[in-house]
Chain A
Amino acid sequence: MSTLEIRDLKVAVEDKEILRGVNLTVRAGETHAIMGPNGSGKSTLAYAVAGHPKYTITGGQVLLDGVDLLELSVDERARAGLFLAMQYPVEVPGVSVSNFLRSAVTSIRGEAPKLREFAKDLKAGMDGLSIDPAFAQRNLNEGFSGGEKKRHEILQLELLKPKIAVLDETDSGLDVDALRVVSEGINRFRASGETGVLLITHYTRILRYVKPDFVHVFANGRVVEEGGPELADKLESEGYEQYTKASA
């Protein structure tokens, strides 16, 4: 059973301090929602944990089962069991979805999957997310709609089976049908009870499909309030204003 521990994490971008001491623990079997206004540092937290080079860690620790992720390269973190579904997945010209997924699965498992097995898993994954099989031959994210990109992020999640998944606004820009499909994917991933989810969102809508165990309110680069699912309802009716004012 895995645990992701974020301890007093401080992060700067281009000398500007963005995260000002974040503490958060996600255990296998738990789903944590992080909610907060735009610009509060949610993506910064996600990227910093994943190891994006633009973000400078100025303090704190991120431990996955006791291993300090901050000491590892981006790909080592992924192989250690961390997954980040990006808010804005990039388009990679010339790299096909299937080729990319096969490379990723091979790297994560440490050995190449049998071709037939992989083809079967890929097809099942795509079916489950209502992705047209023709996408397998397309270039990664190239020309995909916002919703198609998000479905592919969840496809990767399901194929790579990480220990801990950080999902950065996977719900933004989705219509209700797509949201349902994507939520089902996340719920399949959670079903084993052996994985942890850190669900970053701006809206409470997705929480009706993916029920969180804990809700953390994020403002100005830190967690400002924590509670159970009922906190989401409070945010739904009251908005973020009280938090942004309080910490501004």
Chain B
Amino acid sequence: MGLNEKPLSTLHEKASYELGDFEVPTGREEAWRFTPLARLKGLHNGKAAITGQAITTAHTPAGVTAEWVGREDARIGRAYVPADRVSAQAYNAFEKALVVTVPKEATPDGPIRIEVRGGGLDGATYGHIVVAVEPLAEAVVIVEHAGSAVYADNVEFVVGDGASLKVVSLQDWDDDAVHVSHHHAQLAKDATFRSFVVTLGGDLVRLSPSVSYTAPGGDADLSGVYFVDAGQHLEHRLLVDHSQPHCKSNVDYRGALQGQDAHAVWIGDVIIRVEAEGTDTYELNRNLILTDGARADSVPNLEILTGEVAGAGHASASGRLDDEHIFYLQARGIPRDEARRLVVRGFLGQLIEKIQVEEIRERVLSAVEAELAR
């Protein structure tokens, strides 16, 4: 399998299973210009020894299967083709892939939990996960990352006809972890996909959630919150590729940044191809910069190749805490620090409220709370 070119779009140029099809990034490329390559610990240039460790475990409710399979398994790489060098590296280097299957029309009575626990920074490690939700099935998946690792992986979400998948991905790494990840969702006819990404930990996290559609009627909602502390680089690169008519997408990411050299990057690419008539899409990113020395780069790109869209918009706003908000709360006796916490919690909380799994919602709220207390 060679190069898979989609020349009509400038946002989604290249996809290939072959590592050799991707040059080693130098940092000058559009796709890499925000990422501090030196902190990738060799994930991007093949110099990382594959001696690292990250243990992945899956807990599945009744009726859902989880299998470890080799790379020759036909279900691997079916929905997703690596789109950059690190992704291709991970694709070619993982040992076993985890394949989770939710059978046709199944509605398991609890979430599927996948835990990835890093075992140290000594060398890199790679992973591959496939979650397939068969037609008319409904599932909730919680992916949690913790510990310390140099880890690159690809995750494929294959959502069948009329099926529904909700995913919460929590990046709660230790402060020294490096994680580069692609999460791709492929939506069949009338499929629904809800993704909620929460990135709090790690020295460098670069997560690229993407969505493609194989038939009309797909509906994707991609939400995310991140909290960037001093020295952290947390990057989210979204890509929604509308190549089918009458599909929807909504992207809403919010972040708070505090401390010296806290760096958030958000790239939101949406392509509406010629054939994708009746597309309805909106993407939004907002950053709240709490201290000097923190920086947010936010770049929404909307590429519309058809004249027939139902709706298409994007917005991006990064700003400081509003003094008037803080004054108002303080004028009611609330100490400044607490006022600040209330406002930030409110800013992120409006999104967090969307998490439908109560236990996870509470956990995310308390994780944000803990960040604010630092």
Taking beta carbons and an 8 Å cutoff, which residues of A are in contact with B? 50-53, 73-75, 77-79, 83-84, 86, 89-90, 92-95, 99-100, 103-104, 107-108, 139, 156, 160
Q: Which residue numbers of B lie inside 8 Å of A, CB to CB?
A: 322-325, 327-336, 338-339, 342-343, 345-350
B345 touching A94 by the CB < 8 A rule? yes
In the complex, the answer to whether B331 meets A78 with C-beta atoms within 8 Å is yes
Given contacts A74-B327, A90-B325, A92-B325, contact A103 B346 (CB under 8 A): no
Q: Is the CB of B349 within 8 A of A94?
A: yes
Instruction: Please tell me if the beta carbons of A100 and B336 are within 8 angstroms of each other in the complex.
Output: no
29 contacts between A and B (CB under 8 A): A51-B331, A53-B327, A74-B330, A74-B336, A78-B332, A83-B331, A86-B328, A86-B331, A89-B328, A92-B328, A92-B329, A92-B346, A93-B346, A94-B343, A94-B345, A94-B348, A94-B349, A94-B350, A95-B343, A95-B345, A103-B342, A104-B333, A107-B332, A107-B333, A107-B335, A108-B332, A139-B346, A156-B332, A160-B333
Residues on the A chain within 8 Å of B335, using CB: 75, 107
Contact of B334 with A75 in the complex, beta carbons under 8 Å? yes
Q: Which residues of A contact B347 (CB under 8 A)?
A: 93-94
Given contacts A90-B325, A92-B325, A94-B349, contact A73 B334 (CB under 8 A): no
B326 (CB) vs chain A CBs: closest residue = A74
Q: Which residues of A contact B323 (CB under 8 A)?
A: 53
| Complex Cα spacing A73 to B337, Å | 12
Partner of A160, one of B324, B332, B349: B332
In the bound complex, residues from chain B placing their C-beta under 8 Å from that of A103 are 329, 332, 334, 338, 342
Cβ-closest chain B residue relative to A78: B333
CA distance A228 to B208 in the complex (A): 70
Complex interface: chain A residues within 8 A of B348 (CB): 94
* B327, B339, B348: most-surrounded residue (chain A CB, <10 A): B327
Looking at A53, A99, A103, the one whose CB has the most chain B CB atoms below 10 A away is: A103
In the complex, the answer to whether A52 meets B329 with C-beta atoms within 8 Å is no
How far is A73 from B336 in the complex, measured between Cα atoms in Å? 9
Q: Would you call A100 and B329 a contact (CB within 8 A)?
A: yes
Q: Which A residues are in CB contact (< 8 Å) with B349?
A: 94
A86 to B327 Cα, complex, angstroms: 11
Known: A92-B346, A94-B346, A95-B346. A107 touches B338 (CB 8 A): yes
B336 to chain A, nearest CB (A): 6
- Note all chain B residues with C-beta closer than 8 A to A84: 331
Q: Which of B325, B331, B334 has the most CB of A within 10 A?
A: B331
Whether A90 pairs with B346 at a CB distance below 8 angstroms is: no
Q: Give chain A nearest CB distance to B202 CB in angstroms.
A: 25
Residue of A nearest to B351 (CB): A94
* Contact across chains for A90 and B331 when beta carbons are under 8 A apart: no
Chain A residues with CB under 8 Å of B330's CB are 51, 73-75, 78
CB distance from B96 to the nearest CB of A (A): 43
Chain A residue contacts of B336, Cβ below 8 A:
73-75
- Contact A50/B331 with A92-B343, A99-B342 known, Cβ cut-off 8 Å: yes
Give complex CA distance A52, B324 in Å. 9
Write out the residue numbers on chain B whose beta carbons fall within 8 Å of the beta carbon of A100: 329, 332, 342
Q: Which 4 residue pairs are nearest across A and B when measured between Cβ atoms?
A: A94-B346, A74-B330, A78-B333, A104-B332
Q: Are A74 and B346 also in contact (CB < 8 A) when A90-B325, A92-B325 are? A: no
Q: Do B346 and A107 touch (CB < 8 A)?
A: no
Q: Which residues of B contact A92 (CB under 8 A)?
A: 325, 328-329, 343, 346
Q: How far is the CB of B246 from chain A (nearest CB, A)?
A: 32
Asked if residues A75 and B325 are in contact (CB atoms below 8 Å), the reply is no
